[in-house]
Every structure is written in structure tokens, then in C-alpha cells.
Structure 1
């Protein structure tokens, strides 16, 4: 058992023993994000016990880290005064991320208690959707002018630290702007601490920086950080005026949320699903996805039913049918995964789709020949029927080719219909390969055997 799992086990045992002293000591050793995961993995009655013993600062970190349903549960079980104490410790962009879950009276009281600077920062972030660069950015940009010296910059940073009590999070560079707040470049902290203090900012600022448009999607932001190996990046409007800054910790949260969403959506579950959500609610949400799969299963069963008489005459067909459908599904899933990933990374377009089709067709053709001959030989050895082996091999070749074709075009069509291929692609593909596999195998058997 890992150290983290051991600590979690100790926390749950302390809750069961109602040992508040041990519980407090254990939770003090756990970060806010770890505490958030602990709360999400606990039954509702244990969640509130953990929540009640957390200090104000830890509660603030938990509120911004837990998923939506769990956050709503904690908010509903916390007094407005206690909520406000924790909310005051969050940054404006963090507040904007969770304010939809807060009661109206708490939001009004929170805004009323803000100073003008904090209120302006909050409103500027709130103006943008959460899934864009504007929703991710922190408006505390720490900007300087190009006509000042390194010495002036150092004095400014000391003044900022004395005033705020700390430096902005993930500060690796300062933004350089003109008098109209237009972004000119960035000034790395490494230059500030290593160059002569009489050096002018204009002489050393980095013009090759990567600025992010305020309306860029969070997926595009994550891709820019990955491609350029960034720790932070400025956010600008259409006139290149500096609006805010995005840091690597924000991007890590985006990447984690995307990964969670894909895992959940592949099973038909919504993002931020609470593992201990009410039973009736969970049954309803999952039942919808089960219903869709039931329909697709009946489609495959209907195809089999068309050849009921053939199957009754030759029981070997029933034995080999699952093999044909399974091989087509695997081949199609491999191509579907490649194409879906390519679409997500903007790697597939009109200029290379033809080459991709040729490449995938070549791969499946080679695999089809090898495995068609293999299964034909197995069927011949197993059942002693050369014609059955030939039908088995030909059907496998057909379903492998159609599976790959479907794996290419299904995600392209779904994307054109504004449907996420990662969510619906596998269901459509499975239905298609099962139906084609059964139809080709049983149809050939009816004609040739």
C-alpha cells in the first residue's frame, strides 16, 4: 500500500473511531487537492465530518478542487458566514470558476466586501466563458514598462511583495507593456536577477513570446503550453492589449479535466460524476446509455436472425460468428482511436486525409491477408470443411476492411455533426462492425455452403 493510500486508510479509521484529534493531525499533513480527492472518495456522511474539521484556508483549496456535485453538497451544508471566510482566500479567477454553485446571497456579500481592484479583476474574468483563455487567466499580470531599468523592476517587486505579502503564483516572467497596456514582450526573472541593474528593460525583453487570444479554447491553450514548453503565457485581446496571465497549474487542471471527461464519457457518464451520487439519479443517468447499447445489440441480433435457418443447419457458424465480429471491432477501434486523437490535436485536414486513408487501407490489407489465411486454416483443421474455412477467411477480410473504413469516417462525420467522437464513436463503430461481420459471414455461408 502506498503512503498516500495508507494515510487515507488511517483517516477513514479515525472517522470510524470518532477520534477528532488524530483526524485533525492526519488532515494537517494532506494538501488541499489531496483532501478534495479524499472527500470525493468518501461516503456523504464521512464527507461532512472531514469538511467540518478543516481550517478556513484548507476549505478554500478544497472548494476550488472538488468536482461540481461534491462542491454543491459541501456548500449546501455550510453556513454563509463560513463560506465567505473561505471564499475571501481565493483568487478572482478561482471565484469565477465556482460562483455558479454559490447561493445568491453569498455572491452578493462576497462582491460587496471586495475592494475595487479585486472587484474589477473578478468582473473581468467573469465576463469570459470558463472553457476559454479568458476564463482560465489570472488578471494579476505583474507588468512593467520598457523604459525602466532592472533596478526599478527589482524595487517594484519588493514593493509588491511588501504590499501583497507574497508574489503572484508561478511567477517566471514579467509582462512588458506600453502606456496603452499593449503587450510588447516578456522579461524572464532569470534576466532580472542576473543582469546589471542599470540595464534597460527595452534592451533585453523577449519579443519571441507566445501570447494567447482571450477567446482561445482551453484545449488550444493546453496545446500551446505543450508545444512551446511554457510555464506561463500572457493573454491578450484583439488589439494585443494585455488582459491577464495563464500559468502551468491552470493548464494541468485542464488536461486532468479532459482526461477525466473522456474516461467518463466513454461509459456514457457526464463529467464530474459523483461516485456517491443518489442511487435513483445514478440509475437514471446510466440507464440512458444502457438503453442505447441495447438498441445496438438488437441491431446485431436482427442481422443474425435473418440467417436463422443457415445457423441451424451448420452449428459451426454459431461458434465462429463472435470471432468475425470481434476482429472487425478491434481493427476499427485502432483506426478510430488514431483518427479521434488526430482530430483532437488538429492533425487531420483536407491536405492529409487521403494519405491517411491509403495508409490505413494498406495496413489492414496486409493484416487481412495474414489473418484471413490463419483463420481459414484454423477452421479447416477444426471442422474439416474447406468451404467453411474459405468463407471464414473471406468474411474476416471483409469485416477488417469495413472496420477500418468505419474507423476513419465515423469520427469525421460525428465531428461534422458537432458530436464528440470520443463519446459516441465506439458505440457506432461496434454496431457497424457487428452488423457487417455477421451479415458477410452468414451471407457467404448461405451462398457458398
Structure 2
């Protein structure tokens, strides 16, 4: 029998990549790279995450345990909280958080720590790809100097690239590999290296001329969403005053086949990108004596939405204050069908209700507890008895599993910030009022 070796053929080389940060960006990327026959070292500083993954358990709602088990069964996945186990990696993909500090400024500590650790492992032509969202200039002004301080020349000794993550948690229509991948490099050689890494991994690669352009593209994507969500939230408030239905208005405007994209109102913005990335740009602009009026105004509009919603509920209840009013907030996640409450406007809504004297509780099927006002709040079970005690239910997140029939049958008042009750008019026993639905009669 003739072997592949007899014909002068060899098995394709298995590439080894390290993925640093196994959250909503890193973990899906790990699973996809394994499907593309990579050998992967997955790192996270959270030892609990590593233990769960080694046990075949997922901590991300949209990733099933069976997917983790399948990944482990390949024999090509190493999970660790030690950087030393990455020495064999040819490429290091950094997907760590880039949050805001307590002062509202960029916090790059996770990123700089990761690069500092990697720098000890990267000689001999290895590639570092940053995927974390950040302001234009971070790769060149913050990351490259860390490598240069230990004597590495970017483009020769080590290749440095930026390729922004574009994960949309909960969006099953666009898994990570189906989203076009923007790539950039510090030098032309660096760009070729990242193109080679991701060619065949993602459906489409889009190269740009500089790392700053790629960094700005990511900021632009999220600032675009921030501004448009803020605009439609302001229109919802206006429609309440004009006794118009914002939801009907949006559907009418969407019939135009060009020049319009539909955005929808809600209790505010949330997540790891939209509330944070534009602030990164604002911080950078301040160094040039500039600012973005659109971003500043958009932040202002969204920050007042929880206060506006609480005020609307108070008007509906026809009370001078919410002191001792019992209110259930349904949904704490910043968007439907995920277990992520980062920067969620629903958390701010709970704080506002509490500050106004309301006895507020919450229910979220994906988030069993949250930290609010320095204390831990637990999700309550929705029962007939609980609903009978509530003066109002505020729908803050439109999870697919929302028990609408139960709420509309047994609640006294449902204030709907997501239009989840559309089509239930005339059926509900509860009084239903929608944000931007035409005011309070």
C-alpha cells in the first residue's frame, strides 16, 4: 500500500495559537480555531473559568457544555492560568477586557499586563494580535514600546497586529467566523503575518493601512450605535409628549428601502462596547483639545433614560413619590437572551428606583444575582403571589422566555420599555404602557 510519505506528501502543519482572555470574545474564537485544526492554548487569569472549562462546563449562555466537551476531546486544547504554558505558541491573540477606570478613563491594565507577560515568550518571529477594543494609537503608543523596551524590533523580531473583535453576544445569525475580519499591522510584514493567520479562519478578511485605522473602525462602529440608539430614545420621549407611538413611527420609516436603518428605544445602553468604546475616543480627543459633541450628547440622553422611566411609572401610579411602591424589574441583562449585565441600564434603573424609595426587586432567568449599591441582590421567582403584591412591573429586557401571559394576566401595571407586549392590546388584564407609546392617559 502506497503511503503519503511515499508520494512525497506530508501532513499539513498544525499551527499553535494562544488566546489570552476566555470571555465573550476569546472563548468563541478558541472553539472556532479548534474547528480549523489549530492547536490552542487558552489562558485566563480567572482560575474558576479554567476549572469550569476543564470540567466541560460553559459559563457563557450561548455556548453549550457539549461544545466544550467536543473541544477537549480534540486533544489540541490546553487550558491554563499560567503564561509559561504558551511557549510553543506561534501567535498570541489578546482578547482581554479594556474597561473604564473609576474615574471614567481608559483602563488598559489587563492589556499591558498581558503584553508584558507575552513579551518574554515572543522572540523568533512570533505574532501578537490585539483584539481588545481601544482608542486609536494604543497599539503603536502603548503596546509596541513594551516590546521595544526589552530589545525587540517590531516587524523583525516580533510581528504586531491589531484586529478588532466584532462579537455580538446572543446573535446566532452571525457567529464570529461569519463576520468580516478587519486586520492591520504595524509594518507591511506584520500585516502579511496576520493576514496569513486569519486567511481561511474567517469568511472574509478586510485589510486596512494602519493599526490606527483599525482601532478607529471599531470605535466608529460602536459610536454609530450609541448615537442612533440615543437619538431614538430621545424621539421616544418626544413621542410620549406628542401622543405618538414611536414603534409605529419606526416601522413606517423602515419601509424606505434606502437611507434608513431601524434602531429601537429602551431603558438605555449596556454591554462591554457601546457604553465604553466612545468614551475611549473622547479621552483620546481631549489630548488634542477636541471632543465629540455627538458622543457627549448621546451619553447624556442615555444616562437619563432610567430616571425618565422611573418618573413615568410614578406618573402612571399617580403618586407624589415612589416611597414604598413595590416594583418588579424584569430583566437585568443588557440585551435579550444573554447572561451579561455589564454596564446594563437596568442596573441603573434599580438604583434609581431604590433612591426614590421604591421597594424594587428583579427577575432575570440568566442572572441569579447582581451587585447594586454595594449589596448583592438576588433574582426573585415570579409567582401569582408576587405579582399581586407589585404595584408595577417594568420590562427592561425582552428575553425570549419572558412569561408575558403570566405578567399581563396578574400584574396591575406593565411598563414596557422594549415593545415586548406588542399585539397584546385588548387581551391583557394589566394596564400596559409602552415607552414612547403615546404618553400617559
User: How does the TM-score come out when normalised to structure 1?
Assistant: 0.28
Greater gyration radius: 1
User: How does the TM-score come out when normalised to structure 2?
Assistant: 0.28
Identify the structure with the greater helix proportion: 1
